[in-house]
Amino acid sequence: MTSFALLLLYVLVVTLPLGVSWIFGGPPRPFWAELGSGLGMLAFSMILVEFVLSGRFRRVSSGIGMDVTMRFHQVMARAALLFALLHPFFYGGSAVGGPRPWDPTRVLTVSTDLTAMAGGILAFVLLPALVALAVYRSDLDYKYETWRLMHGIGAVLIAGALLHHALSAGRYSAEAEMVWLWAAMVAAAIGSLIWVYLIEPARARPWRVTEIKRLTPRQWSVTVTPEGHAGLDYKAGQFAWLNIGHSAYSLHENPFSISSAPDAGADVSFVIKELGDFTGALDQVAPGTRAYLDAPYGSLTVEGRDEPGIALIAGGVGIAPMLGILRQLRLTGDPRKLRIIYGNRAEEQIVFREELAAEDTVLVLSEPPKGWAGEHGMVDGDLLDRCFTEEEIRSWLFVLCGPPAMMDAVEDHLIARGGASDRILSERFDYG
């Protein structure tokens, strides 16, 4: 699906409850009360759609890219939080029931029935906590898998609490049509979790690690082979959630770009940099270990593009998807021009040097050794101007993967030099 179609679908789904309550709801109330209800309903439907925007649905993330999907998820979560927190304050004097002793001006009074409000109050507390824990995840010292589990459980609790709140305290949501709509939307949201964490793992086919070797002091090559099935149907440059040595139902899975070419056979390879729990323990993985792949995901592919040339620009382990693309282009005898820019800090970090040397490759080091014949410094605008003509910048396809600062500098420079944003493809390894 294209980005536009996805955005349209998103707007339609999140505004569906507003449309249905407008058609089936009773006579309109004062403007501020209507605004309060509208914001509340919008927040609830946005929160339910967040379940599907969790990145594990190929139709969503393949159209716009995984990083864009996750950024959209994060921005919409903040917007939904704002709407949810604001909405009770709009009811003011039109609230149900009489004023509370502690709220003589009735600014804060929404309902006097605490049972009806319980779900809303619970969600009012849980939702900011869930968003704050996600925003500050990397500053808090706990495992990614623990966070993922808590995020999922918290989201389900909030959805349940909001359903209770909408049905018991909501005026429009008391209509039969709205009860059905909310029930269907909550079922779809929870169903998406059941799909990702129970049904997909039940259908997962096993793989086995066939080769694991250290490429550089902190980078590994890992290859897995399908066990009893034909393997994966993927495009060069896509990525997989890789689970090594755990049950298919485990949350211990991490995303890695595929560095092998689809046409090279059924084996799938990765280049993995040591970083934390999983990647730092690769030296303990033995060949023969069972693995599972949830794949393919991502949209970093050059298939179907008609630009006359392709520039693959990588920083560090961002070379992984570029290797997949390069290998596929060579296997299929692709006639398009190809240039690779590959930046690293030190010479010892360069992987697959011989293979890359056979191509039009520019190696860039920020801390080069004495006598280094390649480029010095960062992969930035000046370097791009030395490596590409203006015509190439305007007409080629640029594929980027690397540290955020490098990607931002390259993207900005390409656009400033007349490159078109639809001819820049990028993959970020960190959702932020």
Ligand X SMILES: Cc1cc2nc3c(=O)[nH]c(=O)nc-3n(C[C@H](O)[C@H](O)[C@H](O)COP(=O)(O)OP(=O)(O)OC[C@H]3O[C@@H](n4cnc5c(N)ncnc54)[C@H](O)[C@@H]3O)c2cc1C
* Residues within the interface to ligand X (CB under 6 A): 66, 138, 144, 239, 253-257, 270-273, 275-280, 298, 317, 320, 427, 429-430
Q: How far is the CB of 368 from ligand X (least distance, A)?
A: 23
Pair of tokens at residue 40:
């509340």
Minimum gap (Å) between residue 38 Cβ and ligand X: 34
* Nearer of residues 109 and 426 to ligand X, judged by Cβ: 426
Phi, psi of 54 (to 5 degrees): -75, 0
Yes or no: say if 266 and 225 are a contact pair by the CB < 8 Å rule: yes
Cα atoms in the 13 Å half-sphere on the side-chain side of 351: 24
- Alpha-carbon distance of 345 to 348, in angstroms, equals 9
Contact 239, 259 (CB under 8 A): no
Q: How far apart are CA 423 and CA 426, in angstroms?
A: 10
No. of H helices and E strands in the chain? 13, 12
Nearest C-alpha neighbor of 425 from the set 298, 254, 255, 277: 298
In the block, residue with structure tokens 């903040």: 78
Q: Which residue is nearest to ligand X (CB)?
A: 276
Pick the closer one to ligand X by CB: 64 or 116.
64
Q: Give 197's DSSP letter.
A: I
Burial (Cβ within 10 Å: 0-12, 13-18, ≥19) of residue 77: buried
Q: Which is nearer to ligand X, 294 or 375 (CB)?
A: 294
Q: By C-beta, is 257 or 301 nearer to ligand X?
A: 257
User: By C-beta, is 138 or 389 nearer to ligand X?
Assistant: 138
Name the residue nearer to ligand X (CB basis): 8 or 346.
346
Output the smallest distance, CB 254 to ligand X, in A.
3
User: Taking the complex as a whole, how short is the minimal distance between the CB of residue 408 and ligand X, in angstroms?
Assistant: 17
Spatial separation of the C-alpha atoms in residues 301 and 426, rounded to whole Å:
10
Rounded to a whole number of angstroms, the minimum distance from the CB of residue 239 to ligand X is 4
C-alpha span between 240 and 234 (Å, rounded): 10
**Least separation in angstroms between CB 39 and ligand X:** 31
If the CB atoms of residues 17 and 55 are measured against ligand X, the closer one turns out to be 55
Task: Find the shortest distance in angstroms from Cβ 155 to ligand X.
Answer: 16
**How far is 340 from 329, CA to CA, in rounded Å?**
13
